[in-house]
């Protein structure tokens, strides 16, 4: 009897686990569902080169979305990310133009410039307590202007092959592995994902990020330096924008002052689809990565199916709403 009872209990908890499983993996199920549709509709979709292509296509938006996740968990938002990316691209390309052998310097200064620029948002939000939407709108405009001024309005070509390898190269030669390589861009995405996950889950700073977004007053009362946490979250995000800007510049082999316009929306979309609450206090790195993957797969699959770009936008909009609705429902169920 004991054994039977134990079995019964096991079966019950198994059922419960399945429900929980379904709830916590709703996003994954949507993602796999979308993939299944495209796999049936297009023979190209599941080909290794195309799958690698999709991962490469989400890498830049993925890095941007990871930084955005941190900001949104604090209850903020950053609209300036595209403009910050442009600054990094322009600065690094122009340094290389004048000093052809200083790739490392160009990248560090370029990424540093984006982080420095993001301090404008950081100060306005953390110190001056201006709404993040407005503060980052200010930075978005200023940073775009800075990029245009620095670049004198024109694109600057990157002739350095090592730089362009970051955007277009592979870890090993695709020809040697039957046409499939491991893009450098994807490696960068993985590294950034691991770093942000470690910061968010395994450090005091990460716990404070959640605390500030969950309840700012409570966090303050329990001794969290809210100003400091917010400030460094925006600066960290700025540095990640710099990394994304470097990736884009490498991909398009040029630093363009008008690059990455509108990228903030794709990044925010990935974060929202990934289940991070706009109200702050909750959110996961894995969710954001899947959010970015869903967007990437949609872009890729709709092109493969030859869907007119006008319809593509409608479909993407619907998917965003469906994903968020579904996520809200499953969370309520929990």
Rule CB under 8 A: which residues touch other proteins?
19, 22-23, 26, 29-30, 33-34, 36-37, 41-42, 44, 47, 49-50, 53, 56-57, 60, 148, 151, 153-157, 164, 167-168, 248, 251-254, 256-259, 262, 299-300, 302-312, 315, 318-319, 322, 325-326, 329-330, 333
Distance CA 70, CA 290 (A): 16
Q: How far is the CB of 135 from other proteins (least distance, A)?
A: 25
Q: How far is the CB of 33 from other proteins (least distance, A)?
A: 5
Q: How far is the CB of 327 from other proteins (least distance, A)?
A: 11
Distance CA 79, CA 39 (A): 34
Q: How far is the CB of 240 from other proteins (least distance, A)?
A: 17
Q: Which is nearer to other proteins, 117 or 324 (CB)?
A: 324
Q: Which is nearer to other proteins, 139 or 254 (CB)?
A: 254
Least Cα distance to 138 among 178, 79, 202 occurs for 79
Q: Which is nearer to other proteins, 41 or 131 (CB)?
A: 41
Q: Which is nearer to other proteins, 47 or 203 (CB)?
A: 47
Q: Which is nearer to other proteins, 180 or 197 (CB)?
A: 180
Q: Which is nearer to other proteins, 155 or 238 (CB)?
A: 155
Q: How far is the CB of 258 from other proteins (least distance, A)?
A: 6
Q: How far is the CB of 53 from other proteins (least distance, A)?
A: 5
Least Cα distance to 147 among 241, 54, 70 occurs for 241
Least Cα distance to 183 among 174, 196, 191 occurs for 174
Distance CA 23, CA 333 (A): 8
- DSSP bridge pairs for 254: 157
219-255: b or e for each residue (b if 16 or more CB lie within 10 Å)? beeeebebbebbbbbbbbbbbbbbbbbbbbbbbbbbb
Q: How far, in whole angstroms, is CA 62 from its chain's centroid?
A: 3
């Amino acid at each position: 009897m004991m054994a039977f009872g134990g079995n019964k209990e096991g079966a019950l908890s198994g059922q419960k686990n399945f429900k929980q499983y379904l709830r916590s993996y709703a996003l994954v199920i949507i993602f796999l569902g979308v993939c299944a549709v495209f796999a049936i509709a297009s023979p190209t979709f599941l080909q290794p080169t195309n799958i690698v292509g999709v991962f490469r296509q989400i890498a830049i938006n993925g890095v941007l979305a990871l930084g955005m996740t941190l900001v949104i968990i604090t209850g903020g938002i950053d609209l300036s990310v595209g403009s910050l990316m442009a600054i990094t691209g322009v600065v690094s390309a122009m340094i290389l133009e004048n000093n052809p052998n200083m790739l490392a310097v160009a990248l560090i200064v370029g990424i540093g410039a984006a982080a420095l620029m993001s301090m404008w948002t950081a100060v306005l939000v953390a110190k001056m307590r201006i709404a993040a939407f407005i503060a980052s709108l200010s930075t978005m405009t200023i940073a775009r202007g800075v990029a245009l001024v620095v670049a004198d309005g024109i694109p600057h070509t990157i002739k350095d092959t090592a730089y362009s390898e970051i955007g277009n190269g592979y870890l090993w030669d695709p020809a040697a592995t039957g046409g499939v390589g491991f893009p450098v861009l994807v490696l960068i995405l993985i590294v950034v994902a691991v770093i942000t996950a470690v910061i968010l889950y395994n450090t005091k700073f990460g716990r404070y990020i959640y605390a500030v977004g969950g309840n700012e007053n409570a966090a303050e009362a329990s001794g969290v330096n809210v100003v400091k946490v917010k400030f460094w979250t925006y600066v960290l995000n700025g540095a990640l924008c710099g990394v994304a800007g470097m990736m884009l510049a490498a991909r398009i082999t040029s630093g363009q002052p008008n690059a990455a316009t509108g990228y903030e929306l794709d990044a925010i979309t990935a974060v929202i689809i990934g289940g991070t609450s706009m109200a702050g206090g909750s959110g996961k790195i894995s969710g954001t990565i899947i959010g970015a993957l869903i967007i990437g797969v949609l872009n890729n699959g709709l092109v493969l199916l030859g869907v007119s770009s006008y319809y593509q936008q409608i479909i993407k909009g619907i998917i965003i709403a469906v994903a968020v609705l579904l996520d809200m429902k499953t969370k309520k169920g929990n």
